[in-house]
Copies of this chain bind each other. A is one copy, B any other.
Amino acid sequence: DAEGDDISTEDPWQDEEYFGSYGTLRLHLEMLSDKSRTETYRRAVVSNSVSLTNKVVMDLGCGTGVISLFCAQLARPSLVYAVEASSMAEYTRQLVKQNGCEEVVTVLQGRGEEVELPEKVDLLVSEWMGNCLVFEFMVESVLSARDRWLREGGVMWPSSAVLVLVPCQAHDYFAEKMAFWECPYGLDFTPLQPLAQQEFFTKPKFSHVIEPSDCLADPCDVICLNMYTLQIKDLEEITGQFHFPVETSGTFHGFTAWFAVYFESLEVGGATVELNTGPHSEPTHWKQTLFMLDKPVSLNVGDCVTGIIVLRRNPVWRRHMSVTLDWNIISDADKCQAKRDKDLPDVEV
């Protein structure tokens, strides 16, 4: 039927749009201008510069090649395969030459799933993280490249990744999008509030910046990915649990999510390097992601927010997913009785 045809003639990976956007400078400039991100990758290279000697490296989705150039200039790998699917690869080659690294860095244009290397690699490094950690699902390409090209005992950077969640206040955002309609210019615009609810609160707010003081509990790692054992099929549905003892009484407007990734040392016992995109770390271009509740709820110290989070990969549009949060508040007064049992609507991202 027509609907089925529509879908089958379009690319469920939307690669033309996806790699097209990485063929322009805008996204690369945004990523390079993110010092916290870029310098963490440099720090991982610098703190492993001795161990990287004579190692073979693959830098997957290398973009402008900045990580490959760090490897070539700050360590002595025997070879770095810089793999980039978008048309940026052509410029990456020029940048490698311009920086005198063409004997160490080989640029290959292709996807992680398809690229052919002459040898296996000791280190697979990639910056694949998106909003809520896995959005864009570039991680699939990384896992595929790992299974094809990482030698037994080779190292993955990042080596592990966590999705962090916290129940939070969002007074400014709530005021701007919802309370606003109560009396703008002395008028009653409350009939627009259901529309505002639908338009602003049923989708995640990317690029949210949460202040540490807006966290109503200690943030928790709710999902942990081991980059050595994670399988592509595991990405279809990723589930985490949470149990937040409330530390600050306040208005519970929603949940905020962010991620951290870890770069293990190439040496046993060496220091792990961390990139944390949360509110207690340097700001990054990812910022945080806010999921608003249907209605704000008051929380008191002693209450607990418990529940589960499920990331369900879209069965058709493979770079997208829905995020579902099921939660209860268990009040101090009555630990056994759920005061509230509320689903957030499924959120397509």
Interface residues of chain A, those whose CB is within 8 Å of chain B, are: 24-26, 29, 32-33, 38-39, 42, 64, 66, 69-70, 73, 91, 94-95, 98-99, 176-177, 180, 184-192, 195-196, 199-200
Contacts and interface: CB of A to CB of B under 8 A. Distances in A.
B99 A29 contact: no
Contacts of A38: 185
Contact of A187 (B25, B91, B99, B189): B99
Given A38-B185, A185-B70, A188-B98, A200 B25 contact: yes
A187 B69 contact: yes
Contact of A66 (B91, B95, B185): B185
Nearest to A41: B185
Contacts of A42: 185
Instruction: Please classify the interface of chain A as helix (H, G, I), strand (E, B), loop, or mixed, using the class held by over half of its residues.
Output: helix
Nearest to A42: B185
How many copies of this kind of chain does the complex include? 2
B26 A189 contact: no
Contacts of A33: 176, 180
Contacts of A95: 187-189, 191-192
A177 B29 contact: yes
Contact of A196 (B25, B39, B94, B190): B25
A38 B184 CA distance: 10
Contact of A32 (B91, B184, B195): B184
A14 B72 CA distance: 50
A130 B28 CA distance: 30
Contacts of A26: 199
A275 B186 CA distance: 21
Nearest to A176: B33
A185 B95 CA distance: 13
Nearest to A28: B192
Nearest to A199: B25
Given A24-B199, A70-B185, A91 B29 contact: no
For A73, A91, A187, the residue with the greatest tally of chain B CB atoms inside 10 Å of its CB is A187
A180 B30 CA distance: 11
A192 B188 CA distance: 52
A191 B95 CA distance: 7
Contact of A25 (B29, B64, B91, B195): B195
A176 B26 CA distance: 11
A34 B253 CA distance: 25
A258 B246 CA distance: 49
Closest 5 CB pairs of A and B: A94-B191, A25-B199, A98-B188, A98-B191, A25-B195
A70 B64 CA distance: 54
B195 A66 contact: no
Contacts of A191: 91, 94-95, 98
A268 B35 CA distance: 60
B190 A98 contact: yes
Contacts of A73: 186-187
A205 B121 CA distance: 44
Given A29-B177, A29-B196, 15 more contacts: A25-B195, A25-B196, A25-B199, A32-B185, A33-B180, A38-B185, A42-B185, A64-B192, A91-B192, A91-B195, A95-B189, A95-B192, A98-B188, A98-B190, A98-B191
